[in-house]
């Protein structure tokens, strides 16, 4: 994995905001979703371990990433407390951690300086400050690349030296809160991915359909209760309004009676009798309406009670089902813990074998490097000898050719010398023969 994700959030300390923390867990399922996924036994994964090599590779990549993040988040603390690692870790590892922390500190200082210069430039608008700001931004970009490279190199050293990584994780404590949040989010994400890999597409579809059915039934019940409550509130409100009207009419009548009393006793008596009659009639009518409204309220309460009992029965059935599912889940968890304990033991044995074989491999690689160096030296020596031999052969061929030319020239010279001698002898004999013949003719 790229270290871009690792370097950015782990050396900023308290500068990480709440929104950054929320971003870390934005893709994780909520607790309500996780609890709802256990509502039925047919929604639980049928497998307890990964079956495909692709899913195992995914989990292996996540585990390796978490291990790297745990190491990187401890580098800064280890650099500030080098005495805690003296005698436990090799000097070049401690130096690599300190150099990496120097890079990170320089990066933070330069980043803060760039922010201050940006604020000053926004306030003043000075062109010289703009050039300086651009130069610092270029340096900041280069320094970020150096920090990334330093992170990779430091991680590579600790991944090669497994014992040093374990010492770092066991001896160095006090990881920052932001780093703990990030690592916890990675663990939760790993669990979520592991559960997703164990769940088949058919189980996912059945889970979705079941939850949709539960949500639809809950919505229907909630709508029915809301409708009944609204009807009840409307009825009570209408009753209260009617009673207020009746009280208002009574108050008006009493006021009218009080005014009439001033003018005439008899008229007051007559009016009072009429008012009492009217009041009795209104009261009877009001009582009749109140009785009817109470009957309606009783009927609605009866319906509400029946719906409540029905929902309680359904809820009780669901609670029993939930208890059964929780029991099954607890059994599965116990079985999972047992299996994981066995797997952990097996993993530790394999890890010991792997560590031993890795050490042997490192030793063989060292020997192989020495052999390669010796082979290259022997090959260079042979190449030099072959070149020298080729040059000697060329020189010998040149000398042979030269000797052949010299011999040929010498043979030619001897032949010409012999031919020249023979020609001289032949001419001498011919001259003597000519002289002898001339004497005889005389």
| Domain-terminating residue out of 309, 328, 348 | 309
Distance CA 265, CA 283 (A): 25
Give residue-wise pLDDT tens across range 208-221: 888 888 888 888 88
Same domain? For 43 and 86 the reply is yes
Question: What number is the average pLDDT over the span 259-273?
Answer: 71
Same domain? For 188 and 221 the reply is no
Give residue-wise pLDDT tens across range 380-411: 998 999 899 899 999 899 999 899 999 988 98
237-243: long-range pairs with CB below 8 Å, 24+: 238/293, 239/289, 239/290, 239/293, 242/286, 242/289, 243/286, 243/290
* pLDDT for the residue 174: 65
Q: Which of 4-13, 79-88, 90-99, 409-418 has the lowest mean pLDDT?
A: 4-13
Indicate if the pLDDT at residue 83 is higher than 70. Answer: no
* pLDDT for the residue 9: 37
Assign 26 to helix, strand or coil. Answer: coil
* pLDDT for the residue 27: 39
* pLDDT for the residue 50: 73
Q: What's the domain range around 236?
A: 215-309
Reported as type and span, the H/E element at residue 170 is helix 162-171
**Is residue 130 packed enough to be buried (19+ CB in 10 Å), middle (13-18) or exposed (0-12)?**
middle
* pLDDT for the residue 82: 60
Distance CA 111, CA 108 (A): 5
Length of the chain: 442
Give residue-wise pLDDT tens across range 54-67: 878 888 888 888 88
Same domain? For 64 and 187 the reply is yes
Same domain? For 273 and 304 the reply is yes
**Is residue 225 packed enough to be buried (19+ CB in 10 Å), middle (13-18) or exposed (0-12)?**
middle
Question: Structure tokens of 332?
Answer: 């599965």
Residue 381 lies in a domain: no
Q: Which candidate, 229, 232, 340, 243, places its Cα nearest to that of 289?
A: 243
Nearest 10 degrees: CA dihedral of 203, 206, 207, 213?
180
Q: Which candidate, 149, 144, 152, places its Cα nearest to that of 1?
A: 152
Same domain? For 45 and 148 the reply is yes
* pLDDT for the residue 44: 53
| Domain-terminating residue out of 172, 199, 226 | 199
In the chain, helix, strand, coil percent, each to 5?
A: 90, 0, 10
C-beta neighbour count of 332 within 10 angstroms: 14
């Amino acid at each position: 994995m790229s270290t871009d994700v690792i370097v950015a959030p782990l050396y900023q300390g308290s500068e990480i905001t709440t929104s950054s923390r929320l971003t870390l867990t934005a893709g994780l399922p909520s607790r309500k979703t996780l609890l709802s996924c256990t509502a039925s036994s047919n929604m639980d994964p049928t497998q307890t371990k990964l079956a495909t090599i692709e899913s195992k590779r995914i989990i292996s990549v996540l585990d390796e990433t978490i291990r790297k993040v745990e190491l990187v988040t401890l580098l800064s603390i280890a650099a500030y407390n080098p005495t805690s690692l003296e005698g436990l870790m090799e000097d070049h590892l401690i130096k690599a951690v300190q150099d990496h922390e120097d890079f990170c500190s320089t990066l933070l200082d330069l980043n803060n300086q760039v922010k201050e210069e940006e604020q000053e430039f926004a306030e003043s608008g000075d062109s010289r400050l703009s050039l300086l700001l651009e130069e610092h931004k270029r340096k900041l970009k280069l320094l970020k690349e150096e920090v990334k490279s330093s992170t990779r190199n430091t991680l590579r050293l600790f991944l090669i030296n497994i014992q040093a990584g374990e010492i770092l994780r066991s001896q160095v404590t006090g990881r920052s809160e932001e780093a703990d949040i990030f690592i916890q989010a990675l663990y939760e994400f790993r669990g979520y991915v592991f559960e997703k890999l164990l769940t088949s597409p058919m189980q996912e579809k059945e889970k979705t359909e079941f939850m949709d059915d539960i949500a639809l039934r809950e919505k229907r019940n909630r709508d029915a209760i809301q409708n009944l409550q609204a009807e009840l509130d409307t009825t009570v409100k209408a009753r209260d309004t009617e009673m207020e009207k009746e009280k208002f009419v009574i108050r008006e009548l009493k006021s009218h009676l009080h005014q009439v009393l001033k003018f005439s006793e008899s008229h007051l008596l007559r009016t009072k009798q009429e008012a009492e009659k009217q009041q009795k009639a209104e009261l009877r009518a009001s009582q009749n309406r109140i009785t009817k409204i109470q009957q309606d309220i009783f009927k609605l309460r009866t319906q509400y009670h029946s719906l409540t009992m029905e929902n309680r029965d359904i809820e009780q059935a669901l609670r029993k089902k939930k208890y059964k599912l929780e029991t099954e889940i607890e059994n599965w968890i116990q079985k999972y813990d047992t299996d994981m304990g066995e797997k952990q033991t097996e993993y530790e044995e394999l890890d010991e074998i792997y560590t031993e074989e890795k050490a042997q491999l490192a030793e063989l690689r060292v020997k192989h490097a020495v052999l390669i160096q010796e082979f290259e030296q022997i090959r260079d020596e042979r190449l030099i000898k072959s070149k020298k031999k080729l040059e000697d052969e060329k020189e010998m061929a040149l000398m042979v050719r030269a000797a052949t030319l010299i011999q040929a020239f010498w043979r030619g010279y001897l032949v010409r010398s012999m031919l020249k001698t023979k020609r001289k002898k032949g001419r001498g004999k011919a001259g003597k023969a000519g002289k002898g013949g001339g004497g005889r003719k005389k």
